[in-house]
A and B are shown apart, each in its own frame.
Chain A
Amino acid sequence: MIRALSKICLSAMLAVPLAACGSNWQSALDVHGTSAISLKHLILLIVAVCSVVWMLVMVALIWALWHRREGLSTPPQPGRERRMTIAVIGAVIVTAVIIGTFTIMSFFATRSLSVAGQDELTIRVRGLQWWWGIEYLGPDPSRRFETANEIHIPVGRSVHLKLEGLDVIHSFWVPSLAGKQDLIPGRSNELTIRAEQPGVYRGQCAEYCGMQHAHMALLVIAESQDDFDKWANAERNAAAQPVEEEAAAGMQTFLTKPCAACHTIRGTIAAGTTGPDLTHVGSRRTIAAGLFETTRGSLAAWIADPQTIKPGNNMPMVPLAPEELRDVSAYLASLK
């Protein structure tokens, strides 16, 4: 009953900011990750207990106002003094017990955040203005690969993230899976995430990092181990050679224009590292850090004028003829 009541209070408090969100894929209340679940339990417990305490205090206050002593001097009443002393001591003890319990609970919740399994998958996440570089590490260098703005993880397995900021401080936050962790230039922070259920979870940079901070999202896709392995093997491959004539022409354009100086497409001579790896850009769900769904049309719109779509981002507008734009977007869309 009290729990339900406190849930209602919490929901009412959060209703305003949450009204803006259509779906629950980025919500600290809709949790599917081990650490997010323990954090949610902790916050619900604290809110519930604090609500009860607040209500008791209010009741006591109203009662006290009701029974206030009229006049200035009252004759001493030994029985009343004793009852008051007992009430105060009782309140102090209860307060100490509650705070002590909170401390212990939050200690255990925090400790559960850093549990690490044995066979860990390690991913380096680099925060840049304004996108995420994702690199799957592993003992075997030939099996490492890079992607951007999208992390795939197997359900039920601990995944270890090494978080690094390359230019300014960013913060990695996928509320449905785990708490926040900053990405700081010059050091490597760690975060372990584990999804309990398959799904697509949205994350967002949570530390103001410049003009396009709001457009610095990422997706975490939790899937079965089989699906994950299939995806990872496909990602490891070099880019597909274009088959259609249009895409082949697009590849030529890409390689001869400035694009290749900033982007890598494995299997071609394009090996730039200042922009996202585009080897399998066509298979990612979004481009430009969550701004658009990946379609040929959105790719073309982005390439045609990135500075109008995401002003200030670090991809310049590269002048292209209409046919070149058509070819390049066909090529990139074909990179599944």
Chain B
Amino acid sequence: MKCSKCGAKAVAWLPASNAAYCKKHFNYYYERKVKRLLPKMLDQKKDVVGVGVSGGKDSLVMLWLLHKNRFNVVPILVDEGIKGYRDKTIPYAEKLCRELGLELHKVSFREEYGKTLDEMVKEGGRNACSYCGVFRRDLLNKTARRLGCTKLAIGHNLDDEVQSVLMNFFRGELERIARGGPVTGIIEDPKFVPRVKPLRMCSEKENVIYALINGIEYSDIECPYATTAYRGVVRDAVNMIESRYPGTKISILRTSDRLVEILRRELKPEGGLRYCSECGEPSAEKVCKACQFRNEIF
């Protein structure tokens, strides 16, 4: 197959754009897509951007692109304590940070909460993804704030975003949909660092291709706790529809973004964001989820 732009040998075929691209034109296509989105999320001059990195493809591609576009980035790595997994992915994050001349800020569940995720799962009654989601969120926010970040960039890709939107839709979780969109968090609050997702328009596959073309080395091992079975079912269904009707994923995301605006007007939270009565962190409830979980385990 030949590049639709220049006729050179193509390395990527993108059914949703009905185009094939060579390395150079894939980079051009991909970077332009991200660059168009960035000004809506980040201010290049003012923002100090905390970047959540894991060592996987999405977060490292995101860090690389933000650095390449001269954003003031602060890489943050949360070590949940997943033996045989996180210890294997961390070196990739360290390597890229070294290459880019950036200091990697490492924090861990063990140091912050006294237990690794492995221990929490063994001792608590909940599944790994519940603990991980809540504590990662809490720790990333605290760390970004401590390091003076004005935004926090998360490496969610198009597939992640579409799966989340649909899962929330299927379950009737409108409040969760309202919390989505390009910049998350319904309310401005000095204790909450707003989250942005620079790769939300880029599919998982595009991120892999970009990483390979540009020599960004990443870990491709899967988390032993994997993703929930339900997310897997939604992913397969979306991929099946996308393969027959290319462009469906982007369309779902655009529809959802419009819905987010409408929902945010309708679902104005009463009394605004409050603070957890135990730890003082921003919380939708009286006691935040992190403290609720902590009280269960400890």
A in complex with B? no
Taking Cβ atoms with an 8 Å cutoff, the residues of A that contact B are none
Taking Cβ atoms with an 8 Å cutoff, the residues of B that contact A are none
